[in-house]
Amino acid sequence: MANPDRPLRLGTRASPLALAQAHMVRDALIVAHGWSDEAVEIMPTVATGDRIQDRALAEVGGKALWTKELDAALLSGDIDFAVHSMKDVETERSSKLAIAAMLPRADVRDRLVGAASFDALPHGAAFGTSAPRRRAQVLRLRPDLRVILLRGNVQTRLSKLAGGEVDATLLASAGLERLGMHETGTCLPTHLLLPAPAQGAVGIETLSDNARVGSWLAAINHQATFACVMAERALLAGLSGDCRSPVAALAIMDGGKICLNAEIYSADGGQVERGTAEFIVGNAAPYELGIAMMARADSAIRAVFSS
């Protein structure tokens, strides 16, 4: 296929991981359509969430801190589509924007970095994370640990770990692999640490009414990943949660059905509510599961989601 009549502008955050993911999207489009390398131009921008390093994102509003600059660029026509780590995309999106495609999902697991296992950490060790989900899960496993705010991109967090600011941390296996850090940390099984909704998934968003770009992106959409991640996002909607909520969820395609496992926590991990559902693609079951889980959750869990 001939190149588009002008280079397509792909918006991305400027972090090393985000740029690696943008190159994955560009390469997938070039292969799918037989375009030259010049057909897609990568346009980095610094997101608000990347600028703020000294506070938990919940303290500064949380919502859209990873996406608002890219959203504005899409809506103004400065870019044609944007690449996102799907676990960072807020649950409610503008109707003018559409998640048009997702690449095949990578390893969904977390890796423990700084110790061989949770049992190997000394009593009262400093554990670094900024994610409410990871904080709750870590404290549930080891209530004696001191959880310390650890923000920044992968390289920044590894540097702080190496500098002794914390004794251990958790990082997404998918991000480490995309950065070529295949030997960093120890992968933890999902039955021990269920991942964040949409972890390991890269999504591409464009304007809802841009049928031309939407058709190009459809060619690289991995349907099983798309269906599973959208189910996890529907669960979040049912919980009235977002990427800052202490929620863990994993949907897996099994034949013609999706199997969804989910957990929600109190802030300290002392309380957990679990739920499962099995359904066909497009069913409302994930949303309904979220509502049901919240309805039966302990008050300490409900308090986190209402704050």
> What count of other Cβ atoms lies within 10 Å of the Cβ of residue 72?
13
pLDDT, tens digit (0-9, with 9 covering 90-100), for 119-156: 999 999 999 999 999 999 999 999 999 999 998 889 99
Is there a common fold for 1-102+198-221 and 110-187? yes
State how far the Cα of 52 lies from the Cα of 151, in Å rounded to an integer.
Answer: 9
Query: Does the predicted model carry a pTM greater than 0.85?
Result: yes
pLDDT reported for residue 148: 95
What percentage of the chain's residues is helix, strand, coil (to nearest 5)? 35, 25, 40
Distance (Å) of CA 120 to CA 2, 39, 133: 56, 50, 21
Q: What is the mean pLDDT of residues 48-67?
A: 54
Give yes or no: 88 in active site: yes
Residue 116 has pLDDT above 80, yes or no: yes
- For position 245, what pLDDT does the model report? 87
What's the rounded Cα separation, in Å, for the pair 59 and 62? Answer: 7
CATH for 110-187?
3.40.190.10
Q: What is the pLDDT of residue 159?
A: 95
Indicate the CATH number for domain 1-102+198-221: 3.40.190.10
Consecutive H or E run containing 273: strand 272-280
Say what the pLDDT of residue 181 is: 95
Q: Where are the domains of the chain?
A: 1-102+198-221, 110-187, 223-307
pLDDT digits (tens, 9 = 90+) for 162-189: 999 999 999 999 999 999 999 999 999 9
Comparing 97-106, 228-237, 241-250, the range with the smallest average pLDDT is 241-250
Using the predicted structure, report yes or no on whether residue 52 has a pLDDT greater than 80.
no
- Rounded-to-integer distance, Cα 248 and Cα 134, Å: 9
Among the listed residues 50, 71, 88, 242, the single catalytic one is: 88
CATH code for 223-307? 3.30.160.40
